[in-house]
Amino acid sequence: MSPAPFVPGATPCAPATETRIRQVPHTIDDETVLVDEPYNVLVPQPPADWDRIVLNAVTAAAGLLVTASVVWSTASIGDLLTSVTIAAAAYGAASVFDLAWIMCMAVEWLARYDTRRAKLPRQAGHWALAIAMAAVGVHGWFAGQTAIGIIGVCVSGIAKGAWTVVLRHHAKPLDPRTQQWVDAQRAKAGGRLAMTAVRRELQRTQAAIEAERIALRTNPDADPDGEEESTDGPVGVVLPMQPGRMSVADAVRTAVSHGIHGSGTRPRVRPRGG
């Protein structure tokens, strides 16, 4: 096995032992089969990626700063609002101030590859942060502790600033041509997603129309006027009329020839003049 390539400035790492499985022949009574055999190999390890380690540590530290800022701002603004409402409602409303700009930062993170889309959440986050800092400062002023109020204002500002620095490092700005290509791909995927919703709506509408058609379909054997059917013959049979004057006997013979019987008995024909 060839040694790991040398990387200038990288700290060499000791190779790690890795257990692997291979098949070897095993013979008993002149019959050979392949069996598994474990064996150890030395696998060279890549050098430590200190850039990634430091970036992960900085990101975690920024997250801790944001958490501390939320706790401080909620406690400060909540104490200010308890003078006019109950504690549960006061602290619940106080959490809104910091959660607003944190949500804006999260959306800005999602749009880190599109500077135009990231502009709106960035500006909204700045306004939400300014309002939260003003509320913390008002609390210190009402409490008669202006210095503490100023320090409290700086807590939220430092947390927001640290996260902004980390976010700018993670963001990967694209050149105009690449950005247009990414926008075109996003628009194509958005079109497919939109058509999926449209097809689902059309199928749902078609199913509703079909269900209504089935529910409103009448029985083909039922009389649409609600009248009782005649038992003299099948519905829809039109008896042909003979030209000229038709006698009773002719009418009866015509009805019998078309399968029309009365009450299951054979009709009687009265002779003329009788």
Residue 226 Ramachandran class (φ > 0 left, ψ -120 to 50 alpha, else beta) = left
- The SS3 call for residue 37 is strand
pLDDT at 259: 61
Mean pLDDT calculated for residue range 105-112:
86
Choose among 103, 30, 33: nearest CA to 70: 103
Cα-Cα-Cα-Cα dihedral sign, residues 209, 215, 216, 219: positive
pLDDT digits (tens, 9 = 90+) for 3-20: 445 444 455 567 888 899
Q: Is residue 265 part of a domain?
A: no
CA distance 94 to 117: 28
pLDDT at 34: 92
Q: Is residue 70 part of a domain?
A: yes
State the number of CA atoms in the 13 A half-sphere of 167 facing the CB: 22
pLDDT digits (tens, 9 = 90+) for 202-230: 999 999 898 888 888 755 554 545 454 44
Q: Is residue 153 part of a domain?
A: yes
Q: Is residue 27 part of a domain?
A: no
Say whether pLDDT at 247 is over 90: no
Q: Is residue 188 part of a domain?
A: no
Distance from CA of residue 43 to its chain's centroid? 42
pLDDT digits (tens, 9 = 90+) for 114-154: 888 888 988 998 898 899 889 888 888 888 888 888 888 88
Sequence-distant (6+) residues with CB within 8 A of 175 are: none
Which of 49-63, 171-185, 196-210, 230-244 has the weakest average pLDDT?
230-244
SS (H, E, C) 229-248: CCCCCCCCCCCCCCCCCCCH
Token pair belonging to 199: 């097809």
Helix (H) or strand (E) holding 26: strand 16-28
Specify the number of domains making up the chain.
1
Q: Is residue 219 part of a domain?
A: no
pLDDT at 272: 53
CA separation (Å) from 138 to 93, 120, 151, 153, 221? 16, 27, 12, 10, 82
- The SS3 call for residue 20 is strand
Distance from CA of residue 186 to its chain's centroid? 17
Beta bridge partners of 25: 34
Say whether pLDDT at 1 is over 90: no
Which of 61-70, 122-131, 264-273 has the weakest average pLDDT?
264-273
- Say if residue 117 is exposed, middle or buried (CB neighbours under 10 Å; 0-12, 13-18, 19+): middle
Structural domain span for residue 149:
50-170
Cβ–Cβ under 8 Å, residues 101 and 128 = yes
Q: Is residue 194 part of a domain?
A: no
Q: Is residue 227 part of a domain?
A: no
